[in-house]
A and B are shown apart, each in its own frame.
Chain A
Amino acid sequence: MAEYEIDLGNLMAFDPHHSFSSPPSSREELVKESLEQGTKLVQAVADTLFILPSTEDPDGPIVTLPPPTTRLPREKPLPKPKPPTRWELFAKKKGIQKHKKDKVAFDEQTGTWKRRHGYDRVNDDKDVPIIEAKMNDEPGEDPFAKRREEKKKRVDKQEKNRLHNLKQAAKSGALPSHIQLAATALPITGSQAAPKKVGKDELQNVAGMAASATASGGKFDKKLPGEKPTKHEKKYRKFLPAAEGSGMSSLEKQQTEKVLNKLISKNSHEILNVEKAVTMYNVKEEKKRRSQKGKSFSSSSKLKPNKKSFKKMPKKGSSNKGKSK
């Protein structure tokens, strides 16, 4: 019987000596022979497995497998060891040992056991009601504010140290996988001013300006997803149609009329606004008519004051002065 190579860690059995003496006649033969050989191999593995010392369990006997002998490649590189932090170096130098802290500690202030971190904690700055004045205290100082400032300084120092430790770790490739270091500003090279962050509107303006510098005015440029369509800040010009009748409302006539009116009214010294005068007259006529109607219905003792108009009275009908053909 040939020796099988058995890798218990992988539950694998390999028969390197078996060779098909004759090429298998048919598929069934091949399958049968494979199964036979396979059974022998699996039996060999089971032999070695069941001999191992086992512990009893309600589900069945549990054995401890040896580590696998066939070496397979890893899927990710080995993690690099973290460089020691600033505090760890200091502690090593001074010989400070790490002691495990309890979750609760005795609070001197209230005389009770409080939790060390979190809500209602030990030695909280909020709980100090009175701070006694010392001999070397200046008269204008606020000791509570001073405490708060000191705490802020401590927190900032800790943040700085943390950043430094992470940078050291990143340098040696051992940055923790959930942390990323992002640069907030470019390093200052020449001028003192920090580079300004360009806002969204500014960018849009600049992009619009660049687009309008093209031959087609940026109309057919490919837009990125999310980019707004180009703004048209100027007026849209209106051009007359090439062929049109010369009736009353022909556009050309209207256009030229407008221009001429403007010109003539500029050069004339009449301060009269003909249309406005006509409207005023018509309105007055309407009022008169209405009041006449009203007088026949109502009997008011009050006399209405006679308003005198100081404006130039228009001639009846519309004047022909401003009109042109």
Chain B
Amino acid sequence: MMRIKTPTKKRIKRELDKRAPKLIETGKKTLILHGTKTSNVLNAVLAEIYHLKRDNAIKYTKKNDNVRPFESGGETSLEFFSLKTDCSLFVLGTHSKKRPNNLVLGRTYDHHLYDLVEVGVENFKSTESFSYDKKLAPHIGSKPLFAFIGEGFESVEELKHLKEVLLDLFRGEVVKNLNLAGIDRVYLCTAMSPTKVFFTQCAIRLKKSGTTVPRIELVEVGPSMDFVVRRHRLPDEGVKKQAMKTAPESTKKKEKNVKGDVIEGKVGKIYIPDQKVGSVPLPNRAKGVKRERREAKMNNEAHEPAEKKQKEDSD
């Protein structure tokens, strides 16, 4: 004997469907939380990261003592939070004597731990400390550009992993159409040494150049910090293979609003939006009309209607 349980409200059904696995995935959400102890610097760093990812991040404020992602039993809390908030990326900040200003960037697959990168934050400068023209400030939610500099990102294992995780973290949604006027931020990562990465955010200023391609100018805007790579854990091979599987390409696109008949041939439907009669601004010829009227009036008083006739002829 089985009973079918469905949510009584349609809103809850919609929320559940949003969290269901999809063929093509939209943006990943990030969970930002504290560990047992955090320092002032780390609090500022976590706040800045939250501001960078405002729309699709959730920040927890309480400290969580039992979260130890690198230990075997310590990730159950994280997995539970990931399940509850439907977040597949997390940023965990902890501070201890052995690992000061520690940030653990992690990803989950199917709400289980996928991989981890542990970095230490040094030389942190927050957004407020940079002075720049406020008009250049990047908008929240704009798609960022990435610039990775240094051969370390290809040769060193940890840095390769860090590059992938940073890309995943700050990428946002994968979009098909991009508005070129909306490009206003770039994340700059420079591998200074095999263990250190300099990370900063810059605003993009597009300047006129001769060709269609504008000249780019970067202005350092956002938080800048040094990442010192500490530990990392690569994903399990089997899980990695599963996670890297892409959707099958065979779904053919249904052409909408097109029907075909043997008699009529191919027939399409066009939908025209309602005409906005009355709210369309008329061309403003009031000035000209006024001037003409004024002149005509003046001429009328001075001269005979014969003048008017001349005017009409010239038209």
- Contacting pair A18 B150 (CB below 8 A): yes
Which residues of chain B (122-172) have a CB below 8 Å from chain A? 123, 143-151, 153-154, 163-164, 167-168, 171
- Contacting pair B218 A42 (CB below 8 A): yes
- Contacting pair A9 B214 (CB below 8 A): no
Can you list 29 contacts pairing A with B, beta carbon distance less than 8 Å? A10-B146, A10-B167, A11-B178, A12-B147, A12-B148, A13-B148, A15-B150, A18-B151, A19-B150, A20-B192, A31-B198, A33-B190, A35-B202, A38-B149, A39-B217, A39-B218, A42-B218, A43-B215, A46-B183, A50-B213, A59-B181, A61-B180, A61-B181, A62-B180, A64-B177, A67-B174, A78-B245, A180-B4, A184-B2
State whether the Cβ of B17 lies closer than 8 Å to any Cβ in chain A. yes
Task: Choose, from A136-144, A159-167, A236-244, the stretch at the interface.
Answer: A159-167
State whether the Cβ of B303 lies closer than 8 Å to any Cβ in chain A. no
- Contacting pair B242 A77 (CB below 8 A): yes
Task: Choose, from A68-76, A88-96, A300-308, the stretch at the interface.
Answer: A68-76
State whether the Cβ of B19 lies closer than 8 Å to any Cβ in chain A. yes
State whether the Cβ of B204 lies closer than 8 Å to any Cβ in chain A. yes
* Chain A nearest CB, measured from B89 CB (Å): 8
What are the residues of chain A within 8 A of B198 when measuring CB–CB? Answer: 30-31, 34
What are the residues of chain A within 8 A of B164 when measuring CB–CB? Answer: 70, 72
Known: A46-B213, A74-B245, A179-B5. 11 other contacts (CB 8 A): A11-B178, A16-B154, A31-B200, A50-B180, A60-B182, A64-B176, A65-B175, A74-B244, A75-B107, A77-B242, A177-B16
State whether the Cβ of B35 lies closer than 8 Å to any Cβ in chain A. no
- Contacting pair B143 A11 (CB below 8 A): yes
- Contacting pair A37 B25 (CB below 8 A): no
Task: Choose, from B108-116, B263-271, B288-296, the stretch at the interface.
Answer: B108-116
- Contacting pair A34 B107 (CB below 8 A): no
* Chain A nearest CB, measured from B286 CB (Å): 26
Which residues of chain B (1-29) have a CB below 8 Å from chain A? 1-7, 12-13, 16-17, 19-23, 25, 28
In the complex, A67→B218 CA distance in Å?
Answer: 26
* Chain A nearest CB, measured from B126 CB (Å): 15
- Contacting pair B178 A35 (CB below 8 A): no
- Contacting pair B145 A13 (CB below 8 A): yes
* Chain A nearest CB, measured from B153 CB (Å): 7
Residue in contact with A79 in the complex, picked from B22, B188, B206, B213, CB distance below 8 Å: B22
Which residues of chain A (173-188) have a CB below 8 Å from chain B? 176-185
Interface size class of B (residues with CB under 8 A): 35 or more
State whether the Cβ of B235 lies closer than 8 Å to any Cβ in chain A. yes
In the complex, A74→B24 CA distance in Å?
Answer: 9
Say whether chain B's binding surface is mostly helix, strand, loop, or mixed. mixed
- Contacting pair B220 A31 (CB below 8 A): yes
- Contacting pair B16 A74 (CB below 8 A): no
Residue in contact with B149 in the complex, picked from A15, A73, A166, CB distance below 8 Å: A15
What are the residues of chain B within 8 A of A105 when measuring CB–CB? Answer: none
Q: From known contacts A11-B146, A15-B148, A42-B204, infer whether A182 and B180 are also in contact, taking CB-CB under 8 Å.
A: no
* Chain A nearest CB, measured from B76 CB (Å): 19
* Chain A nearest CB, measured from B175 CB (Å): 7
In the complex, A257→B72 CA distance in Å?
Answer: 75
What are the residues of chain A within 8 A of B143 when measuring CB–CB? Answer: 11
- Contacting pair B218 A35 (CB below 8 A): yes
In the complex, A163→B2 CA distance in Å?
Answer: 8
What are the residues of chain A within 8 A of B144 when measuring CB–CB? Answer: 11
Q: Which residue of B lies closest to A55 (CB)?
A: B177
- Contacting pair A166 B180 (CB below 8 A): no
What are the residues of chain A within 8 A of B3 when measuring CB–CB? Answer: 181-184
- Contacting pair A179 B174 (CB below 8 A): no
- Contacting pair A42 B145 (CB below 8 A): yes
- Contacting pair A46 B178 (CB below 8 A): no
Which residues of chain B (243-262) have a CB below 8 Å from chain A? 243-247
What are the residues of chain A within 8 A of B216 when measuring CB–CB? Answer: 39, 42-43, 46
Which residues of chain A (6-28) have a CB below 8 Å from chain B? 9-20, 24, 27
- Contacting pair A12 B167 (CB below 8 A): yes
- Contacting pair A12 B145 (CB below 8 A): yes
Residue in contact with A77 in the complex, picked from B110, B167, B190, B224, CB distance below 8 Å: B110
- Contacting pair A54 B5 (CB below 8 A): no
